[in-house]
Amino acid sequence: MNTDTQPAGKEGSGAMFDAIADRYDLLNRLMSMGRDRAWRIKTAVSLGSPLRVLDLATGTGDLALDIAKRYEQARVTGLDPSERMLAIGQQKTEKAGLVDRIDYVKGDAQQLPFPNHSFDAISMAFGIRNVPDRSRALAEMARVSMPGARIAILELTEPQGFGLASLARLHVHWIIPMMGALISGAKEYSYLSKSIAAFPSPDRFVHMAELSGLKCLEVHAFSFGACHLFLFTPQPEGGS
């Protein structure tokens, strides 16, 4: 499909990401000044020693690849609503020689096509803020997780406070949209700063997750609060 001739689609949708898929990796590197790689590695490390991993909003497969390379015993399923992003992820996986351990599936985090207790780890990088019904997606993560599973959610967040946090906010609200427009020629990157500003504070997001059946284990802030890593596990059945 030639995405240059297709409508961009609703903000945050699979169609929108189809339109920017070919430039997505480069833009992420440039706009995060390369920090997104380190954040993904920390996310992979937080999963423990998994055997069956579900990587939601897998995009072009960067985190799925990091997980498969780190845990040689793991089988990874990457799920994303964007066909073009998944196609690029498949190409990268073939190049890495990992097609026997990473599968890609088109799907919606709000309605996962897997039985209960299917995975002993779930990851999601830079995707939960794009989900219309976040509570439903979090509940789905709890449903498909085995007891004791680790669920790692990495997300861009609104930096708070003054000093260096003010510079981080400037980067989010002005530099990211400007670089996205200049490099990609796509207006979709103006959506990024808006979606970050609209995302709940870390405390509110943890509360939402706990109401959805997850228990918070740890929260880590990176780059003056511009990114957070949330680590959860499913609440015991019948408990809280």
Hunting for tokens 């794009």 — which residue is that?
130
The domain of 121 spans: 3-158+199-234
Residue 189 lies in a domain: no
Q: Answer whether 25's CB lies under 8 Å from 40's CB.
A: no
Query: What is the mean pLDDT for each group of 10 consecutive residues in the chain (240 residues)?
Result: 35 58 68 80 96 96 97 98 94 98 97 98 94 97 98 85 55 64 59 75 96 98 87 82
pLDDT, position 47: 98
Residue 47 phi, psi (nearest 5): -80, -5
pLDDT, position 172: 62
Number of domains the chain contains? 1
Residue 194 lies in a domain: no
pLDDT, position 166: 62
Residue 192 lies in a domain: no
Orientation angle between helical segments 62-70 and 35-45, nearest 10 degrees: 50
Q: Answer whether 217's CB lies under 8 Å from 231's CB.
A: yes
Look up the pTM and report it.
0.84
DSSP state at residue 39: H
pLDDT, position 11: 43
DSSP state at residue 33: T
Q: Decide the pairing of beta strands 52-56 and 119-125.
A: parallel
Residue 172 lies in a domain: no
pLDDT, position 195: 74
pLDDT, position 13: 43
Integer-rounded Cα Rg, in Å, for the chain is: 17
Report the CATH number at residue 50. Answer: 3.40.50.150
Residue 13 lies in a domain: yes
pLDDT, position 196: 74
pLDDT, position 149: 98
State the Cα–Cα distance between residues 92 and 66, nearest whole angstrom.
12
